[in-house]
Amino acid sequence: MVECGATGVPALLADALHSQIDMHHAYGGVVPELASRDHIRRVLPLTRQVLAKSRVAIDDVDVVAFTQGPGLAGALLVGAGFACALAAALGVPVIGVHHLEGHLLSPFLSADPPEFPFVALLVSGGHTQLMRVDDVASYELLGETIDDAAGEAFDKSAKLLGLGYPGGPALARLAEFGDASVFDLPRPLLHSGTLDFSFAGLKTAVRTHVLKLGSNVCEQDKAHLAAATQQAIVDVLVRKSIAALKATGLKRLVVAGGVGANTRLREQLNAECAKRGIKVHYPELALCSDNGAMIALAAAMRLQRGLAKPQLDYAFNVLPRWPLHAA
């Protein structure tokens, strides 16, 4: 829940999060039907929790925002249906928000918010994009993955290494005990001259190594392979981010999305950017992965600029596939 004036960065009043990681962990990944059923169970208690934390009376809520897409249709529908029912009951407008815009703007809730314009590196489980951001809703796509997303590369490699869900943090933890130089892994499209990414070949290379090591693979080799995988992904993300900054001439980088929590990525980006006088902004760690605060923030920032289309008819739809530049 955020509070916003006519200008300035909206302030976070309260937020609450329920992670489905434990539920998905049991199945080794996201089961869409279970995810949406769990959304149904959690959405009302979480809303009550946020209201209680914020000490704002429900009648004082002016607008309700929800994630309209992209994402799993079932989970999106639960949020959209709930938001529209709540807004209708309160007689206030409702605003559908783009999930990635939430991630992109989430660093504005940090202690040291960025200023426009900046280059954004969006790295989540489903997306890997570099964008020039001149203001809210002014996004130019500079490059994106042509196959797997960076988070997907972490998750799939982790699965090959027999690590649990979610793979990214598990692989990163194991990598701390490994030496990244033991295994030689490809850095796809590193020298392509474009700002696009490709991670499918990396996953295939990890699979080849796992098969070669066989079922008796020792923990140390697994850690070396985890470190090499993480390093290959980080090298590509850092190199392309620097290239995007160079191409645009901008001196600010915003990193958002779940993979933005990766410590190695942060260390390497910070070092490379410091050398070039570039300032890097991250969301608070708690706001790196999916959360409601970033969705409220994006809606508020759009409202301030007269960009949101608040609806009062409550006839909602969701957009499981929705490019950000079309938002």
Please pick, from the candidates 102, 107, 188, 258, the single residue that binds ligand KG4 as defined by CB under 6 A: 258
Contact 257, 123 (CB under 8 A): yes
The conformation of residue 320, written as its DSSP 8-state character, comes to S
Q: Which is nearer to Zn ion, 196 or 290 (CB)?
A: 290
126 binds, among ligand KG4, Zn ion, none (CB under 5 to 8 A by kind): ligand KG4
Interaction of residue 290 with ligand KG4, rule CB under 6 A: yes
Interaction of residue 261 with ligand KG4, rule CB under 6 A: yes
Strand extents, DSSP E, the chain: 2-3, 11-12, 64-69, 94-98, 118-123, 128-135, 138-144, 252-256, 279-281
Q: Which is nearer to ligand KG4, 93 or 167 (CB)?
A: 167
Q: Which of residues 122-161 bind Zn ion (CB under 5 A)?
A: 124
Q: Which long-range contacts (CB under 8 A, 24 or more apart) does 27-35 make?
A: 27/165, 28/159, 28/164, 28/165, 29/155, 29/159, 29/165, 30/72, 32/72, 32/74, 32/75, 33/74, 35/72, 35/74, 35/75
262 binds, among ligand KG4, Zn ion, none (CB under 5 to 8 A by kind): ligand KG4
CA trace torsion 95, 99, 100, 105 (10° rounding): 50
Please pick, from the candidates 189, 289, 308, 316, the single residue that binds ligand KG4 as defined by CB under 6 A: 289
Q: Which is nearer to Zn ion, 54 or 124 (CB)?
A: 124
User: Mask 89-128, x = binds Zn ion (CB under 5 A)?
Assistant: -----------------------------------x----
172 binds, among ligand KG4, Zn ion, none (CB under 5 to 8 A by kind): ligand KG4
Minimum separation from the CB atom of position 307 to Zn ion (A): 21
Q: Which is nearer to Zn ion, 178 or 283 (CB)?
A: 283
- Quickly count: other Cβ atoms within 10 Å of residue 294's Cβ: 30
Q: Which of residues 162-181 bind ligand KG4 (CB under 6 A)?
A: 166-169, 172
Pairing relation of β-strands 118-123 and 94-98?
Answer: unpaired
Residue 163, both tokens: 């690590």
Please pick, from the candidates 167, 290, 299, 308, the single residue that binds Zn ion as defined by CB under 5 A: 290
Q: Which of residues 145-164 bind ligand KG4 (CB under 6 A)?
A: 151, 154-155
Interaction of residue 257 with ligand KG4, rule CB under 6 A: yes
CA trace torsion 23, 26, 30, 35 (10° rounding): -30
Residue 295, both tokens: 């969705």
H-only helix segments in 161-278: 167-175, 200-213, 219-248, 263-275
List contacts with Zn ion (CB under 5 A). 124, 290
List contacts with ligand KG4 (CB under 6 A). 124-126, 151, 154-155, 166-169, 172, 257-259, 261-262, 289-290
